[in-house]
Amino acid sequence: MSIEQRVRPEVRAMARPRHGGDVWGRLQVRDFSSNVNPLGAPERLGEYIAEAARDMENYPDDSCAELKDAISSRYGVPPSNIVVGAGSAELIRLFPEVFVRPGDRVVMPRPTFSEYGFACRLMGAEMVDLPLPEDDAFRLDIGSMVSMMLPGTRAVYVCNPNNPTARMLSRKEVLELVAEARRRDVMVFLDETLLELSERDADVTCVPEVESNDNLFIIRSFTKSFAMPGIRVGYGFGSREVIRYMDAARLSWNLGTLEQRVATRLMAEEQEHVRRAVSMLVGEKDRMRSGIARITGTKVALPDSYFFFHSLEELGMTSCQFRDAMLRHNVLVRDCSSFGPPCHGYSRFCVKTRPKDDEFLGALQLVVEEIGGR
Ligand SMILES: Cc1ncc(COP(=O)(O)O)c(C=O)c1O
């Protein structure tokens, strides 16, 4: 028997999901392709890491008790409603491992973050796409999603705000979806990793709702809020029962001692850092919007989030061509072709600080001049 024949059929067909942020070894490049806190990591991160780097000869606390306590205090939700992971990516993998059986229908908006589909396909799920309408700025219609919850549907996925489209649902809309799903015995996987850097976070988050909605699971992450993709810490909220099973199935020692200690300090002591970024982003997002509109001569809508999903139609470029053109001026944006049609005609880039955004706008100006625009 060949190795290929020994491999599970779901794995044979797998290709790795593609992501932005590929700046390794290109120090001069400004990364606008990954949506992390524009202020960077908190100044004291190095100090926290140095202080945490002791007793590495012992196994980490497998229950991550201190970190869960810190998350619990920040969100006002008991530790029994919290699970932590090596990045929210681990929890994206864990959710279908716990809830999805081979052949289950899983409904997913398209485009959305690719890791969800990857994890569900690995478990043998039947993936059903809900295409988001380009002519309605990719708005997710709750009624359409509910109508796709046919018998055999195990879960639906919602990313709020959605990666890559930057569209946000209100809490009311999400809870309406959760209620309809509960009536049909369908789980809702809600990704709020990009919400914390939005000024609407407190009004939109559904974290306080998890205990009363046992079909809801929510992920959040340190990656975006504290700009630390290099240290892998994410967390999830669910009812006590949901968390009990997820915690039972997760990888042992999934968070090292270093990660646990650093994340605990950040959660307890660096909320102000996140708040500063949020208030800075409000004004800076609008400045970016008018800068892009001026340079490209197009109308640019204000995104619901702190990143743009920008149509390249007026520039007459594909997502890949735009990425390459901007990269020649040391700015990295997300080539959205991997999200599938119609995303090859869009680019995703985030908002950063004023001087960095000016570099972005400078590069955009040069690209527009190169293609003979205004
Ligand atoms: C929407 C969304 N969710 C989750 C993740 C995973 O992030 P992490 O594993 O670093 O928490 C990402 C990373 O790009 C993302 O964009």
Q: Ligand 1, closest atom to CA 162?
A: 1
Pair 183, 128 in one domain: yes
Task: Tell which one of 92, 160, 162, 163 to mutate to probe ligand 1, the residue whose CB is within 8 A of the most ligand atoms.
Answer: 163
Cα 19 to ligand 1 centroid, rounded to whole Å: 10
pLDDT band at 25 (very low <50, low <70, confident <90, very high): low
> For the segment 263-279, what is each residue's pLDDT rounded down to a tens digit?
999 999 999 999 999 99
Provide, rounded to the nearest whole percent, the portion of the chain with pLDDT above 70: 98
Reference 46, options 230, 220, 218, 171; nearest CA is 230
Last residue of a domain, one of 270, 302, 325: 270
Q: Are 262 and 48 in contact (CB under 8 A)?
A: yes
Cα 193 to ligand 1 centroid, rounded to whole Å: 7
Dihedral class, residue 340 (left if φ above 0, else alpha if ψ from -120 to 50, else beta): left
d(CA 149, CA 213): 17
Cα 88 to ligand 1 centroid, rounded to whole Å: 6
Cα 254 to ligand 1 centroid, rounded to whole Å: 17
Pair 107, 251 in one domain: yes
Among 24-38, 291-305, 311-325, the range scoring the smallest mean pLDDT is 24-38
Mean pLDDT of 150-178: 98
> For the segment 186-200, what is each residue's pLDDT rounded down to a tens digit?
999 999 999 999 999
In which domain, by residue range, is 276 found? 3-41+272-370
Give the pLDDT of residue 21: 67
Half-sphere exposure (Cβ direction) of 32: Cα atoms closer than 13 Å: 32
CATH number of the CATH domain containing 353: 3.90.1150.10
Last residue of a domain, one of 207, 238, 270: 270
Pair 82, 106 in one domain: yes
Pair 182, 240 in one domain: yes
CATH number of the CATH domain containing 180: 3.40.640.10
Task: List C-alpha distances in Å: 300 to 286, 289, 318, 321.
Answer: 10, 6, 18, 20
Mean pLDDT of 26-33: 86
**Residue whose token pair is 């490209």:** 296
Give the pLDDT of residue 75: 98
Half-sphere exposure (Cβ direction) of 347: Cα atoms closer than 13 Å: 27
Mean pLDDT of 99-128: 97
pTM of the model: 0.96
Pair 120, 191 in one domain: yes
pLDDT band at 227 (very low <50, low <70, confident <90, very high): very high
Pair 306, 362 in one domain: yes
> For the segment 279-305, what is each residue's pLDDT rounded down to a tens digit?
999 999 999 999 999 999 988 999 999
Helices 88-99 & 114-122 angle (0-180, nearest 10): 40
Last residue of a domain, one of 244, 270, 296: 270
Show the ligand 1 pocket: residues with CB < 6 angstroms.
19, 87-89, 113, 159, 163, 191, 193-194, 221, 223, 229, 234
Give the pLDDT of residue 55: 86
Q: Which residues contact 41 (CB under 8 A, 6 or more apart)?
A: 226, 227, 228
Reference 267, options 12, 67, 86; nearest CA is 67
What's the CA angle centered on 201, arms 195 and 202, to 5 degrees? 150
Pair 222, 248 in one domain: yes
Residue 373 above 60 pLDDT? Answer: no
Task: Tell which one of 31, 218, 221 to mutate to probe ligand 1, the residue whose CB is within 8 A of the most ligand atoms.
Answer: 221
Give the pLDDT of residue 357: 97
Residue 15 above 90 pLDDT? Answer: no
**Residue whose token pair is 């600080």:** 353
- Token code pair at residue 187: 């789980």
> For the segment 84-108, what is each residue's pLDDT rounded down to a tens digit?
999 999 999 999 999 999 999 999 9
Cα 371 to ligand 1 centroid, rounded to whole Å: 34
Residue 24 above 80 pLDDT? Answer: no
Pair 264, 322 in one domain: no
Pair 292, 324 in one domain: yes
> For the segment 345-357, what is each residue's pLDDT rounded down to a tens digit?
999 999 999 999 9
Pair 34, 56 in one domain: no
Cα 235 to ligand 1 centroid, rounded to whole Å: 11
Q: Is 15 exposed, middle or buried (0-12, 13-18, 19+ CB in 10 A)?
A: exposed
Q: How many structural domains comprise the chain?
A: 2
Q: Ligand 1, closest atom to CA 88?
A: 11
Pair 28, 162 in one domain: no
Task: Tell which one of 19, 115, 339 to mutate to probe ligand 1, the residue whose CB is within 8 A of the most ligand atoms.
Answer: 115
Cα 92 to ligand 1 centroid, rounded to whole Å: 9
Pairing of β 346-350 and β 234-238: unpaired
Give the pLDDT of residue 32: 95
Number of H helices, E strands in the chain: 15, 12
Average confidence score pLDDT of the chain: 95
Pair 85, 35 in one domain: no
pLDDT band at 207 (very low <50, low <70, confident <90, very high): very high
